[in-house]
Amino acid sequence: MQIVEKSGEGLSRVYGVTVPVADLTERLEARIAEITPTLNIKGFRPGKVPPAHVKRMFGKALMSEVVEAAINETTQKVLEDNKIRPAGDPDLKPEGDMQAVVDGKADLSYEIAIEIMPEFEPADLTTISLTRPVYEPTDAEVEEAVTELAKQNRTYEPRKGKSLKAKDGDLLVIDFLGTVDDVAFDGGAATDAELTLGSGQFIPGFEEQLVGAKPGDEVVVKVTFPEQYQAAELAGKAAEFAVTVKEVKAPVESKIDDALAERLGLESLDKLKELLKTNLEGQYAGASRFKLKRALLDVLDEKHEFPLPPKMVEAEFGQIWSQVQQDKERGGLPPEDADKSDETLQSEYRKIAERRVRLGLVLAEIGRANNVQVTDQELAEAMRAEAMRYGPQAQQIFDFFRQNPQAQAQLRAPIFEDKVVDLILGQATVADEKVSKEELLKEDDMPEGYSA
């Protein structure tokens, strides 16, 4: 086997590899000898098939296996011998007639084009200084949260008194049948459906036409389905719903007391307030970490400058640009991008791609240098958490992750990133700064290429 470096500029390396036909033939003979005892071919006793007959029958198929194995082996040898950390899968380019190689008449020759990981020294983590914005929930916020929770858990009682007419906020029990051009459609009928007027549960215009209805009323509700409705066959079409109002119930505000807490599964109002305060603290801690991590990424980006593997940048840009095109087609571009030309957008989003690749390489190198690992237990917990989001399909989704290394890698990446971020924050100087709730939750302008 012969390996020759053909070129080496920047982060690109090209090697030429030649495996003599004699080596391939020797490997083929060894493979034939390996499988011959296992063969059961008509006309021969088991294990007694002549090697020459095996070669006539399976020679080309076996030689294809030998060639593939030789390519894999020699490619790995190129990486190991030259101490290369590839930035992606190598590109292989056969040279010569591959059919002649499989026929055992020519050497195997091919080129390996490799992009290598850039060599750089990560910044001294102890030189990084950051400010963490912090905010603690007040008693007034806890009381506000309790009040909102009471509203969400209010009960309804049949409307009584002089007027039984439905008002905004009332709960109606209805039967309905929807038609388009006098033809009923799938999903357009229900019995004893509960609808809170003003909740926006139904399509626009439906609930408003039931305000003022009484028990026993039959109302024809006329609406038009939105142009972007999920059922394409109904999108933009006019429809009529024959609605029978069976009950009109008025909301009864829940009292803020121990009974409310008990209905929610807690032993007392104090315990409910304690839980709500903990939840608020968690939300604010999450917002605080988000801003701290963002500031850290800005610092890391400023402290590192090195060549980027072109293919990694191109792949990242391709993903970003695909999303931009989708957003553009459905009119979902951010206002600041709406009037920009494709050329301008491509230039800006390529810078975003470059920043993301640079930060990814920096975090990966810091993690590698400090032996940061994602444990099997951490990955399993992430798989379970993701699977649980799918309810009844949880087990099916969990099995999918167990059997799919690529899907596991997508879960592993953010865990690894967070562990590296924690490592950096543990060595950096981080000073807490008390801020207002508005300042903590304010949506700041994103720097170019920001990715959390």
Please indicate, yes or no, if residue 204 is contained in any of the structural domains: yes
Please indicate, yes or no, if residue 178 is contained in any of the structural domains: yes
pLDDT at 301: 95
318 and 428 belong to one structural domain = yes
Give the single-character DSSP code of 393. Answer: G
d(CA 369, CA 363): 10
Cβ neighbours around 418 below 10 Å, total: 15
6: enclosing H helix or E strand? strand 2-9
pLDDT at 452: 39
Tens of pLDDT, residue by residue over 9-65, are 889 999 999 999 999 999 999 999 988 888 888 878 777 788 888 888 888 999 999
425 and 293 belong to one structural domain = yes
Residue type, 198: G
pLDDT at 446: 54
315 and 174 belong to one structural domain = no
Asked if residue 221 lies in contact with residue 206, where contact means CB atoms within 8 angstroms, the answer is yes
Q: Against a cut of 0.85, is the pTM above it?
A: no
pLDDT at 273: 95
292 and 432 belong to one structural domain = yes
Tens of pLDDT, residue by residue over 240-256, are 999 999 999 999 888 89
Please indicate, yes or no, if residue 448 is contained in any of the structural domains: no
Residues 6+ apart with CB under 8 A from 290: 452
Nearest to 439 by CA among 285, 287, 283: 287
End-to-end CA, the chain: 47
Residues 6+ apart with CB under 8 A from 266: 272, 275
pLDDT band at 451 (very low <50, low <70, confident <90, very high): very low
Domain that holds residue 295: 286-441
CA atoms within 13 A on the CB side of 257: 4
Q: Which residue has the tokens 């609930």?
A: 207
399 and 295 belong to one structural domain = yes
Domains of the chain: total: 3
Which CATH number characterizes residue 215's domain?
3.10.50.40
Please indicate, yes or no, if residue 276 is contained in any of the structural domains: no
Please indicate, yes or no, if residue 125 is contained in any of the structural domains: no
296 and 388 belong to one structural domain = yes
Task: For residue 410, give Cα distances in angstroms to 158, 379, 417.
Answer: 51, 10, 12
Helices (H) and strands (E) in the chain, counts: 12, 11
Please indicate, yes or no, if residue 420 is contained in any of the structural domains: yes
Tens of pLDDT, residue by residue over 256-291, are 999 889 989 999 999 999 999 999 999 999 999 999
Sign for the pseudo-dihedral over CA of 260, 264, 266, 272: negative
Which CATH number characterizes residue 91's domain?
3.30.70.1050
